[in-house]
Structure 1
Amino acid sequence: MKRILFAVLGAISLSACAQAPQGAAAAAKTDPAKADAAQPAVPTGNAPKVAAGSADARAVEAVRTLNPKVDIDKVGPAPMPGFREAVVGGQVVYVSDDGRYLFLPGSGGALFDTKAKRNVMEDTLAGMRRDLLKTIPASERIVFAPPNPKHTVTIFTDVECGYCRKLHSEIAEYNRQGIAVEYLAFPRMGIGSEDYKKMVSVWCATDRRKALTDAKSDHGAVSSKQCKNSVEQQYEVGQRAGLTGTPMILNVDGVQLGGYVPPAQLREALDKLAAESKTAAKPAAAVATPVGGL
Structure 2
Amino acid sequence: MKHLLFCIAVLLGPASLSACAQAPQPGQAAASASKPSPSPAAIKGNTPDERARQALMTLNPKIEIDYIGAAALPGFREAIVGGQVVLVSDDGKYLVQGSVLDIGAQKELTQSSPALSKYRQGLLKSIKTSERIVFAPPNAKYTVSVFTDIECGYCRKLHSEIAEYNRRGIAIEYLAFPRMGLGSPDHKSMISVWCASDRKQALTDAKNGKPVPDRQCKSTPVDMEYHVGQRLGISGTPAIFAEDGTQLGGYLPADKMREALDKLAGDTQTGKPAGMP
Same fold per superposition (TM over 0.5): yes
Structure 2 contact 148–175 (Cα < 8 Å) conserved: yes
The structure with the largest alpha-carbon Rg is 1
Tell me: CA distance 1:290–1:110, structure 2 relative to 1, closer, same or farther (3 Å): closer
What is residue 197 of structure 1 aligned with on the other side? 188
Instruction: Give 1:222's aligned residue.
Output: 212
Give 5+ residue unaligned stretches, structure 1.
1-8, 13-18, 32-81, 83-102, 281-288
**Contact kept in structure 2, 1:20 and 1:190, CA below 8 Å:** no
Classify 1:243/1:26 alpha carbon distance in 2 versus 1 (closer, same or farther; 3 Å): farther
CA separation of 1:249/1:181 partners in 2, compared to 1, >3 Å: closer, same or farther?
A: same
Which residue of 105, 111, 114 corresponds with 1:116? 105
Following TM superposition, by how much is the alpha carbon of 1:291 offset from its aligned partner in structure 2, in angstroms?
7.1
Residue of structure 2 aligned with 1:250, choices 229, 238, 241: 241
Q: CA shift at 1:126, angstroms?
A: 2.0
1:162 equivalenced with 2:167 (yes/no): no
Where do 1:55-66 residues align within 5 Å?
A: none
Q: Is the 8 A contact 1:157 1:246 kept in 2?
A: yes
Mark the CA change 1:275 to 1:140 in structure 2 (over 3 Å): closer, same or farther: same
Give 1 or 2: higher helix fraction.
2
- Structural mapping, 1:13-162, within 5 Å: 21=22, 24=25, 28=29, 109-122=98-111, 123=113, 124-162=115-153
Instruction: Provide the C-alpha distance between the structure 2 equivalents of 1:176 and 1:25, rounded to a whole number of angstroms.
Output: 48
Pick closer, same or farther for the CA change 1:205–1:172 going to 2, 3 Å.
Answer: same
Mean Cα displacement is larger for which, 114-123 or 190-199?
114-123
- Counterpart-to-counterpart distance in 1, 2:109 and 2:170: 27
1:179 alignment partner in structure 2 = 170
Consecutive unaligned residues in structure 2, runs of 5 or more? 5-19, 34-74, 76-94
SS in 2 for 1:121: coil
Q: Percent identity among equivalent residues?
A: 55
**CA–CA distance in 1 between the matches of 2:144 and 2:103?**
28
Q: RCO greater where, 1 or 2, for CA within 8 Å and sep 6 or more? A: 1
SS in 1 for 2:110: helix
The alpha carbon displacement at 1:104 in A equals 8.8
- Report what 2:250 is aligned to: 259
Once the 2 structures are TM-superposed, how far is the Cα of residue 121 of structure 1 from its aligned partner?
A: 1.7
**TM-score of the superposition, structure 1-length normalised?**
0.61
Given the alignment of the two structures, is residue 210 of structure 1 paired with residue 201 of structure 2, yes or no? yes
Q: 2: CA distance between counterparts of 1:209 and 1:242? A: 26
Residues 110-169 of structure 1: CA distance to partner in whole angstroms, max 9, x if unpaired? Answer: 333333333322223222110001111111010001111111100000001111011111
Rounded Cα–Cα distance in structure 2 between residues aligned with 1:194 and 1:278: 44
Q: Residues 185 and 25 from structure 1, CA distance in 2 versus in 1: closer, same or farther, beyond 3 angstroms? A: farther
8 Å contact from structure 2 (residues 241, 247) kept in 1: yes
Matched AA of 1:225: R
Instruction: Report if the CA contact (8 A) 1:20-1:189 is conserved.
Output: no
Letter in 1 for 2:133: I
Q: Does the CA-based 8 Å contact 1:143-1:181 persist in structure 2?
A: yes
The total of aligned residue pairs comes to 207
TM-score w.r.t. length of structure 2: 0.65
The ranges of structure 1 where at least 4 consecutive aligned residues each deviate by more than 6 angstroms after the TM superposition are none
